[in-house]
Structure formats: structure tokens, C-alpha cells
Amino acid sequence: MATELLAPLDLAFWHLESDAHPMHLGALAVFARATGTGPERILDLLGTRAAAIPRLRMCVRDVLLPVGGKAWAVDKDFDVHRHVERVVVDDGDFMAQATRLAGELMERPLGRGLPPWRMYLIGGAAGGPFAVLVKLHHALADGMRAVAIGAGIFDEIAAVTSARTTVRGRAARPPRSWLPDPREMAGMALGRIGEVGRALGVGASVVRAGRLDLRGTTAFTAPSSGTRRLATADLDAEDLRRIRRAEGGTANDILLAVVAGALRRWMAERGEPLPAADPRALVPVSRRGPGGTATGNRLSAYLLGLPVTAADPRERLREVRSAMDRNKAAGPLKGAGAVAVLADQLPPLAHRFGAPLAANAARVLFDVLVTSVPLPRSALTLGGCPLTALYPMAPLARGQSLAVALSAYGGRVHVGLVADGKALPDLDRLAAAVEEEFTELYALITGTHRAPVS
């Protein structure tokens, strides 16, 4: 893979990170162990397949030009054993131990001198389930790109990739110069004028979306501690489809309404008063075109007030649908979410020196991140062991206490909640509230009562 400059948004994520605020996303994949498949075999497969993914051999290097820029370059001393590790857990409740351990591992920043990713094989009792925790720096990929990269460890994807491998003797394309051809200068100058105008418009939208009144719940306003806690929830995908058929809108609208209801339920259990204004959610939107192969991040986002002050679940869903319809009509260049688009318009030096300011600005713009990550629909295995669940994990910005990520796979919607460990020590209770809220909404709409999925 040729050397390439970090895209502006990737550079922003790289500079936003600090030791106490790692900017990596991740996923906890849970497998049922196949007969005769031991941990050594799985660990070997992880290492072999990860080493075969070109993107995972890239690390970030300084460049002379553009000033303040950085580039992806192949790590000449790449050793996959630095990135793949086995962690043994005691017998007992495997999922409880795996999620606790995943939270602790997500606290650790990724080393900057190496390709910014890690995989951990989390093993329980012999013959029992196991999990793979994957961590990727947000500069390396957005959610959709992370899925494409991480999918290379699965049997089905690895087999297809191997079959498409090209002849090794083919000469590699030389990296493109970082200095433009003089004939391109005029066109670039005109393009930059257009970009400046676009940046001003986007920037004005972001400023208008900012808030001076930051009153909210205790958990949302708690200072960041740098600790991480993970909790999971599981929803029935067919029940989700039945709600959608009855109420209309999108599956994402329903899930956002469920998150709002869960937050309301959780606040009541904590004895906290409802906030004077609904908390804001940042809902990422991919700008990656169909079949797009661009690396790095291609993101914007919508801004949504989560209607926790509405008492009726159906009313919460109606409010979410109306707000998301307005967001889609306005487009992804409006509101706080457009800050990601604005990052694409800024020069590298602005990211280098503006990162400390931007890192503290997230609290002004939104309270919680809620994102959906698409997964392949086909069944996946690792060494013949079937994937039973995959819980995505979104990064926490400085000043943020909670991020919620959702993925559908195998007839379930898997919810991964990442929180600041000290701000939200009762995150398990919030995860349970997600399941309870979904069950209540389903019963209200269909008249069918079911126990929450455990």
C-alpha cells in the first residue's frame, strides 16, 4: 500500500486523543466454541489473518509537507504478535467477565509508534464461549470502514480475500508526491476558494448549534475520569420490524426512541429529576458512497434532542421520527454534526493547534453519541466457531460520559454501551433499561407481552 496523507478528519481524531481520552472504537465479538477448536488455534488464526490485512500494517508518520500533516506508512518492522494477545478469564459468568475486561482494555491508549490497533482473545472455560475484542484508532477508520477491516478475521471473508489475491510480482504503484504539479495549482486555488466558502457556511451552522445552557443530569455533566466501563443489551430484530411495520419510520428512529426511554427510566431509578431540556444526541451519518473504497473517515452527523421528558413511549417515537425527518430534509451540513464536515475543510496545522480547543467543545454541542453500525447479514465463523453476538463500541469525546452503538446480526440487535467508569458506575442498570424499554414499546404497539431478551 502506497504512503498516503491522513485525511483532515482522520488527522483531527489523531490530535484529539490524550492518554486519559483514547480515541479508538472497538467491538466485542462473542463466539460459541466448535468441538476441537482450542485457543491456540484461534490465536494463530487471528494473527495470520490480521497480518494479511494491508491496512493493519500501516502506522502514522510525520511529514515535512503539508505543515502539521501526517501520513500513513507501512511499518517496516511490523510484528503481528505485538498486536494480538490472549487474556484468560476465570470460570463463571463469561459475559460478565468479558464485558468487565473489555471496559478495562478500552481504557488503554494505543501505542503511537505502531499500527494503531489491537486484538484480544478473551477465553473462558474449556469448551465454553470465547470473545475477541478489536480496538482500532478512529483515525484509521470510521464505523463502516472498521467493519470492512475487522471482517477479514472471519472464515468467510478471509476465504474470499485469499481467492482474490493478485500476483505478488506486480510492481507497486509509487506514492503520489505531496507537492502538486504546477499545472494543477490554478485549479487547486479555485477549489480552495470554494472550500473556504463551504467551511464558513458549515462553521456558522456548528456555532448556531452550540449551547450556552449546559444544565443536564449529574451523569452527563460529570467530569471525565479516563476510565471505561462496557455494558451490553440484546433486542429482538423481528420485534423491531413489527414495531416499524405498525408505526412507520426507520429502525434507527425506533432505536433512538428506545434509548430516550431507557435514559428516562434510568434517571427515575437514580432519583434524578428530568432535565429542563432534553439531552442532545449526536447521530453519525456516513458520507461514504455506495461501493466506496475510500480509506479513513467519511462522516457527518445529525443532532437530535432525545425526548426523555415525554412520558408516553409512542409520543417519544413520534418526536424522534419528526426530528430525524427534519434533519434529513436539512441535510448533513447543518447542526453540531457538521463539525465533522468542517474538519475536512481545515488545513493540517489548524488541527494540530486547534485540537485542545476542539477536545473541550464536544460538551457544548451534544450529550451522548448514538450510532448504528451495519454488519454483514450472512452467518460468520472464526475457525469454525459461529459468531453469536457482536457489540460495537464507540469512543468517548472529552467531557462525554456515554456512547451507545448498535448492530444487527443473527436475528438480534446488539447494543454496546461505553461509559466513563466513574461517572456511570451503574451502566449495567442502563443496559437493562434499554431492554425493558424496548419490551414495553413492543407490548404497547402489538399488545403482546414478552420478557426482555437476556
What would the pLDDT profile of 286-330 be if each residue is shown by its tens digit? Answer: 654 544 444 554 556 788 899 999 999 999 999 999 999 988 887
42-74: per-residue pLDDT in tens?
999 999 999 999 999 999 998 888 877 889 999
Cβ-based neighbour number of residue 451 at 10 Å:
8
| Beta strand 24-31 pairing with 385-393 | antiparallel
pLDDT at 225 over 90: no
356-408: per-residue pLDDT in tens?
555 555 666 788 989 988 888 889 999 999 999 999 999 887 778 899 999 99
Work out the angle at residue 300's Cα, subtended by the Cα atoms of residues 330 and 350, and round it to the nearest 5 degrees.
Answer: 120
pLDDT at 339 over 90: no
Q: What are phi and psi of 327, to 5 degrees?
A: -60, -45
Q: What are phi and psi of 206, to 5 degrees?
A: -65, -45
pLDDT at 110 over 50: yes
Arithmetic mean of pLDDT over the chain: 79
Taking a C-beta distance cutoff of 8 angstroms, is the pair 315, 307 a contact?
A: yes
The mean-pLDDT minimum among 130-144, 152-166, 214-228, 240-254 falls in 214-228
Q: pLDDT value at position 361?
A: 57
Q: pLDDT value at position 122?
A: 95
Q: pLDDT value at position 320?
A: 96
- Residue 106: which region, alpha, beta or left (left: phi > 0; alpha: psi -120 to 50)? alpha
pTM, rounded to two decimals: 0.83
What DSSP letter does each residue of 53-109 carry, written as one string? -GGGGEEEEE-SSSTT-EEEEE-TT--GGGTEEEEE--SS-HHHHHHHHHHHHHHSP
Residue 403: strand pairing partners: 369, 418
Mean pLDDT of 116-132: 88
> What is residue 16's three-state secondary structure?
helix
Q: Element (H or E) spanning 414, and its range?
A: strand 412-420
Mean pLDDT of 17-33: 88
Q: pLDDT value at position 348?
A: 56
Mean pLDDT of 416-432: 94
| Beta strand 402-409 pairing with 412-420 | antiparallel
Taking a C-beta distance cutoff of 8 angstroms, is the pair 394, 428 a contact?
A: no
- Retrieve residue 238's grid coordinates: 423481528
152-207: per-residue pLDDT in tens?
899 988 877 655 544 343 434 434 443 344 443 334 333 433 433 333 333 334 44
Confidence of residue 1 (pLDDT cuts 50, 70, 90): very low
Taking a C-beta distance cutoff of 8 angstroms, is the pair 327, 303 a contact?
A: yes
| Beta strand 368-372 pairing with 280-286 | parallel
Q: pLDDT value at position 221?
A: 63
Q: pLDDT value at position 90?
A: 80
Taking a C-beta distance cutoff of 8 angstroms, is the pair 240, 445 a contact?
A: no
- Closest by CA position to 284, among listed 408, 390, 368, 376: 368
With helix as H, strand as E and coil as C, how does 36-53 read?
Answer: CCCHHHHHHHHHHHHHCC
pLDDT at 336 over 90: no
Mean pLDDT of 204-214: 44
Q: pLDDT value at position 403?
A: 93
Work out the angle at residue 329's Cα, subtended by the Cα atoms of residues 302 and 249, and round it to the nearest 5 degrees.
Answer: 80
Q: pLDDT value at position 165?
A: 47
pLDDT at 279 over 60: yes
- Closest by CA position to 405, among listed 239, 284, 226: 284
Q: pLDDT value at position 160?
A: 73
Mean pLDDT of 118-126: 86
Confidence of residue 125 (pLDDT cuts 50, 70, 90): low
Mean pLDDT of 138-142: 80
Work out the angle at residue 314's Cα, subtended by the Cα atoms of residues 308 and 315, and round it to the nearest 5 degrees.
Answer: 55
DSSP state of 6: P
